[in-house]
Chain A
Amino acid sequence: DQQVKQNSPSLSVQEGRISILNCDYTNSMFDYFLWYKKYPAEGPTFLISISSIKDKNEDGRFTVFLNKSAKHLSLHIVPSQPGDSAVYFCAAFSNRDDKIIFGKGTRLHILP
């Protein structure tokens, strides 16, 4: 049973436009949500997180939005750059379980 779902395996966006990566979750007890970026043959790199008590967190070109009633979060990248082409993992963390649960990832292609 997937607790963290990324329903789009891939996404293509024109350079300079906004990239929106979506993630849904099922467990309302998660305390933090995280986004990781992964290049080939490397481990995931932490990108940005959001506490479950907030609805928005912004860091430079990256903004994460959390809609708790819909159990949905999204990562916005604006403007998109070629170096943003990677696989993006949504993850959820529970203080009680001390475990990060990953989604299966969305491959983002930034088109020139």
Chain B
Amino acid sequence: DTEVTQTPKHLVMGMTNKKSLKCEQHMGHRAMYWYKQKAKKPPELMFVYSYEKLSINESVPSRFSPECPNSSLLNLHLHALQPEDSALYLCASSRSGGGGVETQYFGPGTRLLVL
């Protein structure tokens, strides 16, 4: 299994809603990432988990809350989002996330629309 899966594919939510994005991989990778991608722009890194511990938080607002329940799963909890948070949210994984150069596998993304 060489896939990163993400659910849901599409999500529409109001500014007062609470929702979660889910990401899963079964490649034995120990690093997982969340990216935000606006239209026609490259992905922007949000969070990095390495060995289930949050190692990088790129100054993301607290209305985005990541969670890594185990080495295969990564969640992104959303609460009180703003319309400008509408974007494609990409999950990725890599073998260890440590030193050295690693290939990173991307999921298909969740298209989020905040109304």
Contact = CB atoms under 8 A, between A and B. Distances in A.
B2 to A, nearest CB: 8
A100 to B, nearest CB: 7
Interface residues of A, number: 27
B43 A87 contact: no
Interface string B63-82: 00000000000000000000
A20 B103 CA distance: 17
Interface in B12-30: none
Bin chain B's interface residue count.
20 to 34
Contacts of A59: none
Contact of B102 (A36, A93, A102, A107): A107
Contact of B35 (A43, A98, A108): A43
Contacts of B61: none
A34 B40 CA distance: 11
A41 B103 contact: no
A28 to B, nearest CB: 20
Given A9-B103, A98-B39, 16 more contacts: A36-B42, A40-B97, A40-B101, A41-B50, A42-B45, A43-B42, A43-B45, A44-B104, A87-B103, A93-B40, A98-B88, A99-B109, A104-B103, A105-B104, A106-B103, A108-B101
